[in-house]
Amino acid sequence: MVARSHTVEPSRLAFGAWCQTSQKQIGEGDIRASYSADRIGMGQPIRKPFRYDGDLWACVGTGPSGAEAYRLLHPSLYCGTACSYHVRCRDGDRARGDKAGFYDGIIVRHAGRELVMAGPPATFVAGEEAQLSLF
């Protein structure tokens, strides 16, 4: 599996902070906020996907060096055989060794519609914060 790496603004990967008053996470980046591996495994709708280069993506792993995510496709655009997380896990060793990544072909739900996660996954790493130019 050849991992694609994309450099994004650090704010998109920000952890944010818990606000006791509002009872929600404040300042969390859109990539990190899309983390949905826990929801996928439970058969629940994924969190709000993030946009990158015109595509929708869902994060499945985060760490100090960045985040791993899969592109989301309409089922008619996916070229393989799509299945549920439960079906994908039946042969866990084969799924973990898949060159397209473990989550490739898994059907997820968001905003009342089905989407398919398409691998291989991409890694999103922090780069330079964009600067507004006045000149």
Question: What is the rounded CA–CA span in Å between residue 96 and residue 105?
Answer: 13
Counting the structural domains of the chain, the total is 1
Domain that holds residue 107: 4-15+24-126
Cα–Cα nearest to 86, from 42, 21, 28: 42
Two tokens at 4? 């694609």
pLDDT range class, residue 2, cuts 50, 70, 90: low
- Is 104 part of any domain? yes
SS3 116: strand
Global confidence as pTM: 0.88
35-59 tens-digit pLDDT: 999 999 999 999 999 999 999 999 9
Cβ neighbours of residue 61 under 8 Å, at least 6 residues apart? 35, 37, 67, 68
Q: Calculate mean pLDDT across residues 82-101.
A: 88
- Is 115 part of any domain? yes
Q: Is residue 131 over pLDDT 60?
A: no
- Is 44 part of any domain? yes
pLDDT range class, residue 24, cuts 50, 70, 90: confident
Rounded-to-10 torsion of CA 17, 18, 22, 24? 100
SS3 66: strand
Question: What is the rounded CA–CA span in Å between residue 55 and residue 26?
Answer: 25
In the numeric block, the tokens 């859109």 are attached to 30
Whether the bond between 49 and the residue before it is cis, its omega within 30 degrees of 0, is: no
User: What percent of the chain lies above the pLDDT cut of 70?
Assistant: 92
- Is 30 part of any domain? yes
- Is 133 part of any domain? no
